[in-house]
Homo-oligomer: A and B are copies of this chain.
Amino acid sequence: MRVERSVPASEPRIKRALVKFRDVLRKKSLRMTPVREAIVRGALEHTDHFDAQKLARRLQANGVHEASMATVYRTMPLLVEAGILQQTLLSSGEGVLYEIAFEREHHDHLVCTVCGKVIEFHFEAFERLQKDLAAKYDFELTRHVHELLGRCSSCRRAARARA
């Protein structure tokens, strides 16, 4: 099992992401633009999960005028399609959240419902079982959502202390 942590993207990594994005755009006869590049860069600055609003705010904070909300919203699906971002933490009830997918290995989440702490994990046994299950139903698996929710160690301790 592996636990991994996100790091801010380095310039070379950003370049690779831009190349990949450009490819996807080309395949769909769409165009690379300064605004889209700014959005890719802004997205890759995040190390945790974020939503379209947060990304837009960050872009505003950077250049004061990098991209409008509408454009950010319009771009998110493209970033997902290009494998730069992926949706995450669907159970959070906080609307649509994203995280970096580019050059990161697949992982799932363990979430503390008290303090909000998120632990990323990758557990090969789950992956295998999922394949088995899909095979049993003759499904071709494309992705999955797996979130475990509970109380983390310290929140449990705190609860006990209070009692």
Contact = CB atoms under 8 A, between A and B. Distances in A.
Contacts of A156: 138, 140
A90 interface: yes
Contact of A153 (B90, B137, B146): B137
Given A90-B90, A123-B129, A129-B123, A140 B150 contact: yes
A118 to B, nearest CB: 11
Nearest to A125: B129
A156 B137 CA distance: 12
Contacts of A140: 150-151, 156
A34 B145 CA distance: 38
Interface in A133-152: 133-134, 136-152
